[in-house]
Amino acid sequence: MLTDISEHPLASHYLTVLRNKETCSEDFRRASDCMTRLLIAEASRILEVDTFTVETPLEVTQGAAIKAGVVVVPILRAGLGMLDAALEILPSASVGYIGLERDEETAIASCYYSKFPELTDVQRVFVIDPMLATGGSARDAISQIKKLGANKVTMVCIVAAPEGIKLLNDAFPEVDVIAGVVDRQLDTRKYILPGLGDFGDRLFAT
């Protein structure tokens, strides 16, 4: 299932900051953090909670806490730009890492690093990557995660292309995709249009 939050006024605002080629790295990072918080809050709607009673200053009422077993997996390197904000929303989450590098000519990604916590009995794995373009990196990351025993996976991205959504849905129809916005298409270089350029380069000023 696809959820696109671009109609949210705050999402629309921060997406515009990210798209603007005149946005400096500092403002780009701030907008990325804000978008990530919105996306993780939306993605977290499906999380399970434990309920218990809690005392307010006035009386006893019912409370809730997120059940253990949430894992956040950034796809390196651009996914690192979403990690801190994701952990602000889910501070008790464990973190896994997967490094996938895309060949600029073929657009095929190869894995150069991976490290994960135990995934067999986790409640939910959130894979985070700002750009879901061809979908190859997301598909490869989720494939590795599922091989390690995770059954409930959600893909969280700031900008997605229809091509990437289709590829991911064809490979893993059970995986939810939470996107800031779904853009028009990929260009011949596999960049998203209208997009926002190379997210990692703009985030890290490289």
Catalytic residues: 102, 106, 198, 201
CA separation for the pair 120, 107 (Å, rounded) = 31
Strand 70-76 and strand 94-95: the pairing is parallel
Of how many residues is the chain composed? 206
**Number of CB atoms found within 10 A of residue 88's CB:** 12
CB contact at 8 A, 175 and 205: no
Phi–psi pair at 185, nearest 5 degrees: -170, 175
Strand partners, 53: 62
CB neighbour list of residue 35: distance below 8 Å, 6 or more residues apart: 11, 14, 15, 18, 158, 180
What CA–CA distances, in Å, run from 85 to 35, 90, 131? 9, 9, 16
CB contact at 8 A, 130 and 143: no
What CA–CA distances, in Å, run from 170 to 5, 31, 74, 139, 187? 22, 31, 22, 10, 21
